[in-house]
Amino acid sequence: MSDPLVRAAGINKDFRTGGDMFRRARIVNALCGVDLNIRRGETVALVGESGSGKSTLGRILLRLIDPSSGTVYFDGIDVFSLKREPLRRLRRRMQIVFQDSYGSLNPRMRIGNAVGEPMEIHRMASGDALRKRVGQLFEEVGLDPSYLNRYPHELSGGQRQRVGIARALAVSPDFVVLDEPVSALDVSVQAQVLNLLAELRDQRALTYLFIAHDLAVVRHLATRVVVLYRGRVMETAPVAPLYESPAHPYTTALLDAIPVPDPTVARERLALTEGTIDDYGTAGGCVFASRCRHPSKDDRCRIEQPTLVELGEERTAACHYADVSTKE
Amino acid sequence: MTTLLDVRDLTVHFDTAGGRALAVDGVSFRIDPGETVGLVGESGCGKTVTALSILRLLDGEAVTSGASVIEFEGINLRNLEGEDLRAVRGAKIAMIFQEPSASLNPVLTVGLQITETLHAHRDIDRHAARTRAIDLLDLVGIPEPDERFRAYPHQLSGGMQQRVMIAIALSCEPKLLIADEPTTALDVTIQAQILSLLHDLKTELGMAMMLITHDLGVVAGMADRVAVMYGGQIVEEAPTRQLFASPQHPYTRALLDAIPRLDRVTDRLPAIPGSVPPATAWPSGCRFHPRCSKRLERCATDAPDAFTAGPDRYARCWLAAPDQAAAP
């Protein structure tokens, strides 16, 4: 097995919220001891609800924000040790596509310029060569070259997301963080963009971190899935086994929440997964205990925090009662 | 049973710089008391304009054709003005929207926003309104409703904000709730909770519901009947089980196929090619024909009628025409 392209080791991230002259601030552990390896060519899906810390982790991998402790190695280089110029050179190799394609594009910049700008910044092309490259990128992501001079507001959501993808790919990165790239799109357009992302990965030998809250969406693209809850890894598994036999009750809950497009089975499935990620009250125990529906849940879950244990076949889960064969 | 809402030949256009946009074109449908009707289609198909015209919430730019009829409990809402219209809005027909954070007033407590609605429609004293508001917060599953009564919207999560919106909508016990993409901005787990809540409340209160969504997976477990919209028209309408078991319109089929499913792994997701054309330039003939995989020669020139495709169902497609039944 080759060295991972991206390796995050012991990532902690604390955010301070509230607090003023007279009240103590609350510390939120957005990420707590997270390790993550992404091998070359892999698509790792990072899945969890809003507030699980998945976007924070994605941003730390790219050094868009700093962790409280821990570090990230990209192709063996400690990303947080780099000075300005080497960091700038490394940034060309790692890019990001955001959920909100409207908010992430300059509304006053024509989309052709938006796609060309990263190549200018990294001094990769100029003049005719640059224009030609932008045209090729438009073609590659399925945008009509006649749109070059349009503004972001003149495009549909799906087209804008294609611009975001072209802009990320403009500098020929090795690694792309896809932060909820299809969550804001119609189902019909989601499928188009997911297919495009798969094609681009295969043609350009890209490595992806695909962040999503919906396990149905990532199945098509991912090779491995990491499930995050309240800043902790709950389960990691290759894609097929995760869906066939989820080991962690939180993974099961995420799977059960997906609407089933079949009126004969849908109704009984709806009521699962009560509570929200904000439910506290589990000091010391498993962070998921208050919402957990595992039949074996007991006092141990409320007192003792489970650690991530190996379950074989590249699978790990942080549950006292993790069992690969629980789901019938 | 008498019909609760009877919309006949609703046609709405906007005059824009790019020409006349025919947002809704001859839409007719009915909702019976206690019934849930799903209105499904991609962005730009006219779903929201249809919903807003029922409540007469469209701004001055929108022109509703004279022949359009929106009959609620036997009264044409188009003839109501002033006090009479306000007596229907919010009291008999209530609406919730996609973005709860954009619908709630950020500088007022949620309690005040619920009691405001009660005072507007009912002769109720402050104390009774407060009691009723707390009951409503409890009804929609908000923990510690006494505390939350004093909370501001930003102190609540997206799912909790949508519950507050539902509480406001239900405050005057409406006969019809229009839910416009109520779960699109939420995580799948929270979506499952909100859908389950809406389903329970509807049964409990005997309310009818119009559920607008781009995701057929969402209506599967909720709706009794589904109307599929494309290009400002209803292209297929059928009882939910029949629609899923045997979609007659290729657009319905394509929307169903585009849903990422857990029980079906494919190399490529079946996407609908292209995107919804602008309402200023609907294609000739069948408006879906440029994107349709089953198009016939006549589809480009002749607009299909709404052909009966069984009891209580029809499809606006030449493939459903009686003379097509014999064709291969």
Using the 3D structure, point to which of B173, B198, B213 is the last residue of a domain: B173
Chain B positions touching A281 (Cβ under 8 A) are: none
Chain A positions touching B222 (Cβ under 8 A) are: 266
Residue A327 has a pLDDT of: 42
Dist. CA B214–CA A187, nearest whole Å: 7
B153 with B190, same domain? no
Q: Is the pLDDT of residue B326 over 80?
A: no
**H-type alpha helices, A92-211:** 111-121, 127-140, 157-169, 187-204
State whether A219 and B260 contact (CB < 8 Å): yes
B69 with B109, same domain? no
Residue A275 has a pLDDT of: 64
Residues for chain A: how many in total? 328
- Decide: B118 and B136 in contact? Cβ < 8 Å: no
Residue A23 has a pLDDT of: 78
Dist. CA B152–CA B167, nearest whole Å: 15
B169 with B211, same domain? no
Express each pLDDT in B67-100 by its tens digit. Answer: 999 999 999 999 998 889 999 998 999 999 988 8
B137 with B126, same domain? yes
Q: Name which of A155, A270, A293 to mutate to probe chain B: the one with the most chain B Cβ atoms within 10 A of its Cβ.
A: A270
Read off the CATH number of the domain in which B52 is found.
3.40.50.300
Centroid of chain to Cα B25: 16
B28 with B149, same domain? no
State which residues form the domain around B256.
Answer: 5-76+176-272+309-316
Q: Is the pLDDT of residue B324 over 70?
A: no
3-state secondary structure (DSSP) of residue B113: helix
State whether B221 and A267 contact (CB < 8 Å): yes
Is residue B24 included in any domain, yes or no? yes
Q: What is chain B's mean pLDDT, rounded?
A: 92
State whether A259 and B217 contact (CB < 8 Å): yes
Write out the two tokens for A298.
Answer: 């007991």
State whether B160 and A276 contact (CB < 8 Å): yes
B165 with B123, same domain? yes
Q: Is the pLDDT of residue B304 over 60?
A: yes
Residue among B42, B261, B272 minimizing CB distance to A216: B261
Residue A274 has a pLDDT of: 59
**A·B CB contacts under 8 A:** 136
ipTM score of complex: 0.84
B267 with B182, same domain? yes
State whether A191 and B269 contact (CB < 8 Å): yes
Using the 3D structure, point to which of B117, B152, B173 is the last residue of a domain: B173
* pTM listed for this prediction: 0.88
**Residue where the block lists tokens 């990620």:** A277
A74 backbone dihedrals φ, ψ, rounded to 5°: -115, 115
Residue among A188, A214, A219 minimizing CB distance to B255: A188
Residue among A192, A214, A264 minimizing CB distance to B271: A192
Is residue B292 included in any domain, yes or no? no
Q: Band of the pLDDT at B1, cuts 50, 70, 90?
A: low
Higher-pLDDT residue of B160 and A328 is: B160
State whether B270 and A191 contact (CB < 8 Å): yes
B187 with B235, same domain? yes
Is residue B180 included in any domain, yes or no? yes
Is residue B208 included in any domain, yes or no? yes
Is residue B50 included in any domain, yes or no? yes
Using the 3D structure, point to which of B173, B199, B214 is the last residue of a domain: B173
Write out the two tokens for B66.
Answer: 């004279």
B216 with B259, same domain? yes
List residues bridging with A45 in a β-sheet.
Answer: A210, A225
B180 with B239, same domain? yes
Residue B268 has a pLDDT of: 80
**H-type alpha helices, B16-97:** 47-54, 82-88
- Residue B300 makes CB contacts below 8 A (sequence gap 6+) with B283, B284, B285, B286, B289
Rg (CA), chain A: 21
B113 with B158, same domain? yes
Q: Which stretches in chain A have pLDDT values below 70?
A: 1-2, 266-283, 324-328
B18 with B52, same domain? yes
Dist. CA B279–CA B283, nearest whole Å: 9
Nearest Cα to B28, choosing from B181, B177, B235? B235
Chain A positions touching B215 (Cβ under 8 A) are: 187, 259
Number of structural domains, chain B? 2
